Amino acid sequence: KVPWHEGMNCREYARRNPFPLPEEAKLKSLAHRNMWRQCVQCKHMIELETGCYHMTCRCGHQFCYTCGAEWKNNKSTCGCPLWDDNLIMEQDFADDDDDDDDD
Distance CA(82)–CA(79), nearest Å, equals: 9
Rounded to 10 degrees, the C-alpha dihedral 81/85/91/93 comes to: 180
Distance CA(56)–CA(74), nearest Å, equals: 10
H or E segment and range at residue 38:
strand 37-38
Q: Where are the domains of the chain?
A: 1-34, 36-100
Whole-prediction pTM = 0.60
Q: What is the pLDDT of residues 57-102, one digit of tens each?
A: 999 999 999 999 999 988 888 988 888 777 666 555 555 555 555 5
Known active-site residue 57: no
H or E segment and range at residue 78:
none
- Catalytic residue, chosen from 52, 57, 59, 78, is 52
pLDDT > 70? residue 29: yes
